[in-house]
A and B are shown apart, each in its own frame.
Chain A
Amino acid sequence: MARIRLLVGTRKGAFILTSDEARDRWSVAGPHFPGWEIYHLKASPVNPDRIYASQTSSWFGQVMQRSDDGGLTWTATGNHFAYDGIPGTHQWYDGTPHPWEFKRVWHVEPSLTEADTVYAGVEDAALFVSRDAGASWTELSGLRQHNTGPAWQPGAGGMCLHSIIQDPTNPARIYVAISAAGAFRTDDAGASWRPINRGLRSEHIPDPEAEIGHCVHHIAMHPSRPATLFMQKHWDVMRTDDGGDSWHEISGNLPTDFGFVIDVHAHEPDTLYVVPIKSDAEHFPLDGALRVYRSRTGGQDWEPLTQGLPAQNCYVNVLRDAMAVDRLDPCGIYFGTTGGQVYASANAGDDWAPVVRDLPAVLSVEVQTLP
């Protein structure tokens, strides 16, 4: 019987939630690293018991952790993230030059093929890689040193590199997204990068053809279609079918197209999930009703999924890394809220139930489908 392991990062520690494949009874382990912000945890697809975690604190800086036994025990690994060369400046909120300063790791992305290789997306935006299981980190500096780098600006949450997607058919191709610079792609394993933002429209950018400056919140891909990406932008849900060379909007009949998360069904590459949020000023669901929206047509046509979710008085947010899908059939969908709830659906979103209700604010949710 398969098992499910949820890796939940919160404002005050990490939690590991486990279930059998029925996904209706859960065991909760944690908090691991109590009191620390756990921006993200993710396991290696090569060695599922190896989990990498980003542990951070305004007091004590950045710590990286690795578990080699599925989260039972942890070891602090290397945490020195030094920008390559003299990092120079990017733009500050007011448009003035501001020195590049490492603040924290937002996202860890283990390699699809090497258990000792893991990528880290950091604030201020840069991509690092470790090829020794987290002992040491090297910047893939071609990204930050792109000629647009000095013009990148932070979003409201900081200038973070928050999304890293590897092409399973082409190890040299990686996609990343940065708030608020946009999406970028490498086709030479990180040596050089190009912005892939054509077709994005952002009302705060006067130039409709702007190469950078877009506040991308999250991107998602189905492994069977690596040239198709789905994006939840600050406003707008977008789609590309040519590896980011061009994007078109698929917000369709969503009640609001602001939001943070976006994910793809495990077995249906045209079935998408988003959680619409009222606006950039009001980071909570419309009308106090928490709803996941599903499109079975690759976008445009969306249906609300409400069964088991709060229908009133719900004013939480769902942050960009806080949704995940498992590999079972029917596919399980999971998301966490800033109110500390983690919701699960064992039938592709038709019905929902809380796994836990009272964790600290959830920053990230990842899921493992284990044999």
Chain B
Amino acid sequence: MTCRIRVELPSSLCLLARTPREILLQVESPTPNHIIDALEASHPALRGTLRDQGTRRRRPFIRFFACQTDVSHDCPDEPLPDAIASGAEPFLVVGAIAGG
């Protein structure tokens, strides 16, 4: 199943990758890991910025939201809600509010 998923990025990563705030990705299946795989493939400057490149673990200060729910601690290989898979709702990547 291939999905067209909307992904909204924090402004720092938009500057880094020279993208608009929201981008459209063709994703193999609607899981966080597949979304990040597609994101890194289409925007190599973002490699390693959401996930450690060795362990593939989400960076501690990165949060993922789907349909107003924090899914950061869910298994990154589990499918996201249908509204994300259909593109009705964006998958949000958020920098945690911390530090200065």
Q: Are B16 and A76 in contact, CB atoms less than 8 angstroms apart?
A: yes
Known: A35-B12, A36-B12, A76-B44. A63 touches B61 (CB 8 A): no
- For window 11-26 of chain B, which residues contact chain A by CB distance below 8 Å? 12-13, 15-16
- For window 70-88 of chain A, which residues contact chain B by CB distance below 8 Å? 76, 79-80, 82
A24-B52 Cα distance, complex, nearest whole Å? 45
Interface string of B20-56 (1 = CB under 8 A from A): 0000000000000000000000001101111011100
Residues of B within 8 A of A79 (CB): 47-48, 53
Residues of A within 8 A of B12 (CB): 35-36, 57, 59-60
Interface flag for A61 (CB, 8 Å): yes
- For window 50-82 of chain B, which residues contact chain A by CB distance below 8 Å? 50, 52-54, 59, 61-62
Residues of B within 8 A of A313 (CB): none
Q: Are A59 and B61 in contact, CB atoms less than 8 angstroms apart?
A: yes
Q: Are A60 and B49 in contact, CB atoms less than 8 angstroms apart?
A: yes
Q: Are B59 and A61 in contact, CB atoms less than 8 angstroms apart?
A: yes
Q: Are B49 and A63 in contact, CB atoms less than 8 angstroms apart?
A: yes
Interface flag for A34 (CB, 8 Å): yes
A76-B19 Cα distance, complex, nearest whole Å? 14
Residues of B within 8 A of A82 (CB): 53-54
Give the number of residues in B that approach A within 8 Å (Cβ atoms). Answer: 21
A58-B12 Cα distance, complex, nearest whole Å? 12
Task: Tell me the number of A-to-B contacts counted with CB atoms below 8 Å.
Answer: 47
Known: A58-B61, A59-B61, A60-B13. A80 touches B48 (CB 8 A): yes
Interface flag for A251 (CB, 8 Å): no
Residues of A within 8 A of B48 (CB): 61-63, 79-80
Query: Nearest chain B CB to A123's CB is how many angstroms away?
Result: 15
Interface flag for B96 (CB, 8 Å): yes
Q: Are A34 and B15 in contact, CB atoms less than 8 angstroms apart?
A: yes
Residues of A within 8 A of B45 (CB): 63, 76
Residue of A nearest to B59 (CB): A61
Known: A36-B12, A59-B96, A60-B13. A80 touches B47 (CB 8 A): yes
- For window 23-45 of chain A, which residues contact chain B by CB distance below 8 Å? 33-36
Q: Are B99 and A58 in contact, CB atoms less than 8 angstroms apart?
A: yes
Residues of B within 8 A of A57 (CB): 12
A60-B44 Cα distance, complex, nearest whole Å? 14
Query: Nearest chain A CB to B82's CB is how many angstroms away?
Result: 29
Residue of A nearest to B11 (CB): A35
Mind listing 13 A-B residue pairs with CB under 8 Å? A33-B15, A34-B15, A35-B15, A58-B98, A59-B59, A59-B62, A60-B16, A60-B59, A60-B95, A61-B48, A62-B48, A63-B48, A76-B45
The 4 closest A-B pairs by CB, nearest first: A76-B45, A60-B49, A59-B61, A59-B95
Interface residues of B (CB under 8 A from A): 10, 12-13, 15-16, 44-45, 47-50, 52-54, 59, 61-62, 95-96, 98-99
